[in-house]
Chain A
Amino acid sequence: MTHVAEMGSVSVARASRWSLFGWFAFLFLIASQGIAIAISPPDRDMGDLQKIMYVHVPAAWMTMLAPLAVLLFGIRYLWKRREEDDLLAAAAAEVAATFAGLTLLLGMLWARPTWGVWWTWDARLTSTLVLFLILAGYLSLRALIDDREQRAQWSAAVGVLGAINVPIVYMSVRWWRTIHQIQSSPSTVDPAYVLGLRLNAFAFLFVMIWFIRRRYEAATMERAAERAAESTALGGGRAEP
Chain B
Amino acid sequence: MTLRQEWRRARAIAWKDLTTERRSKAGFNGVITLAVTILVLFGFALGPDAQALRDAAAGTVWLAALFAGVLAFNRSYQVELDGGALEQLVLYPGSRRSIFAGKLLANFAFVALMLVVVVVVGIVLFQVRIPPAWPTLVGILLLGAIGLVTLGTFYAAMASRSRAREVLLPLLLFPMLVPVLLAAMEATKALLGGNVMGDAGAWARLLAGFDVIFLLATFLAFESVIEV
Direct contact between A and B judged by beta carbons closer than 8 A: yes
Number of interface residues of B (CB under 8 A): 29
**B199 interface residue (CB < 8 Å to A):** yes
Q: How many A-B residue pairs have CB under 8 A?
A: 76
Task: List 8 extra interface pairs beyond A133-B175, A161-B221, A179-B199, CB under 8 A.
Answer: A137-B171, A137-B172, A140-B171, A141-B158, A144-B162, A157-B221, A164-B213, A172-B206
A172 x B179 contact (CB < 8 A): yes
Q: Is the CB of B224 within 8 A of A173?
A: no
Query: For chain B residues 181-197, which have a beta carbon within 8 Å of chain A?
Result: 182-183, 186, 197
Contact A140-B175, Cβ < 8 Å, known A154-B225, A157-B221, A164-B217: no
Tell whether, in the assembled complex, residue A172 and residue B178 are in contact, meaning their CB atoms are under 8 Å apart. yes
Cβ-defined contact, A161 with B225, below 8 A: no
A155 → B minimal CB distance (Å): 10
Given contacts A130-B178, A145-B162, A162-B176, contact A168 B213 (CB under 8 A): yes
CB distance from B26 to the nearest CB of A (A): 28
**Can you pick out 10 interface pairs between chain A and chain B where the beta carbons lie within 8 Å of each other?**
A130-B175, A134-B176, A144-B162, A153-B224, A154-B224, A157-B224, A157-B225, A169-B179, A171-B179, A172-B206
CA distance A196 to B15 in the complex (A): 63
Residue of A nearest to B199 (CB): A179
B-chain residues with CB within 8 Å of residue A153 when the two chains form the complex? 224-225, 227-228
Count A-side interface residues using an 8 Å CB cutoff. 31
B216 to chain A, nearest CB (A): 10
* Chain A binding surface SS class: helix
Determine the chain B residues whose CB is within 8 A of the CB of A147 once the complex forms.
Answer: 228
Shortest beta-carbon distance from B67 to chain A in Å = 16
* B residues apposed to A, CB below 8 Å: 154-155, 158, 162-164, 168, 171-172, 174-176, 178-179, 182-183, 186, 197, 199, 206, 210, 213, 217-218, 221, 224-225, 227-228
Min CB distance A122 to B, Å, is 15
| Per-position 1/0 for A171-184, Cβ under 8 A of B | 11101100100000
A160 and B197 alpha carbons, distance in the complex (Å):
36
A150 touches B (CB below 8 Å): yes
Minimum C-beta distance from A150 to chain B (A): 5
Task: Assess whether A165 is interfacial by the CB under 8 Å rule.
Answer: yes
User: Which residues of the other chain, A, contact B178 by a CB distance below 8 angstroms?
Assistant: 130, 165, 169, 172-173
Q: Are B176 and A165 closer than 8 Å at their CB atoms?
A: yes
Contact residues of A with B, CB < 8 Å? 78, 130, 133-134, 136-137, 140-141, 144-145, 147, 149-150, 153-154, 156-158, 160-162, 164-165, 168-169, 171-173, 175-176, 179
CA distance A111 to B182 in the complex (A): 24
A73 to chain B, nearest CB (A): 14
- In the complex the two chains form, what is the Cα distance from A140 to B178 in whole Å? 19
Q: How far is the CA of A235 from the CA of B33 in the complex (A)?
A: 57
The distance in angstroms between the C-alpha atoms of A168 and B214, with both chains bound, is 11
A176: chain B residues within 8 A (beta carbon): 182, 186
Asked if A172 meets B183 with Cβ closer than 8 Å, knowing A78-B224, A134-B176, the reply is yes
Q: Is the CB of A158 within 8 A of B172?
A: yes
Give Cα distance in the complex from A220 to B61, angstroms.
47
A150 and B228 form a contact (CB under 8 A): yes
B175, closest chain A residue (CB)? A133
Interface centre among B163, B206, B221, B227 (most CB of A within 10 A): B221
Rounded to whole angstroms, the CA-CA distance of A171 and B209 in the bound complex is 13
A164-B172 Cα distance, complex, nearest whole Å: 14
Q: In the complex, A164→B218 CA distance in Å?
A: 12
A141 touching B213 by the CB < 8 A rule?
A: no
A136 CA / B228 CA spacing, docked (Å): 23
- In the assembled complex, the CB of A120 is this many whole angstroms from the nearest CB of chain B, namely 17
**Which 10 pairs, one residue from A and one from B, show the smallest C-beta to C-beta distance?**
A133-B175, A172-B179, A157-B221, A137-B172, A134-B175, A153-B228, A172-B182, A137-B171, A150-B228, A168-B179
In angstroms, Cα B120 to Cα A163, docked, is: 36
Return the chain B residue nearest A77 by Cβ: B224
Q: Which of A140, A150, A172 is close to B168, meaning CB atoms less than 8 Å apart?
A: A140
With a cutoff of 8 Å between Cβ atoms, the chain B residues found around residue A162 in the complex are 175-176
With A150-B228, A173-B178 given, is the CB distance from A141 to B183 under 8 Å?
no
Q: Which residues of A contact B199 (CB under 8 A)?
A: 179
Asked whether A161 and B228 contact (CB < 8 A) given A130-B175, A169-B178, the answer is: no
CB distance from B163 to the nearest CB of A (A): 5
Cα–Cα, bound, A107→B52 (Å): 30
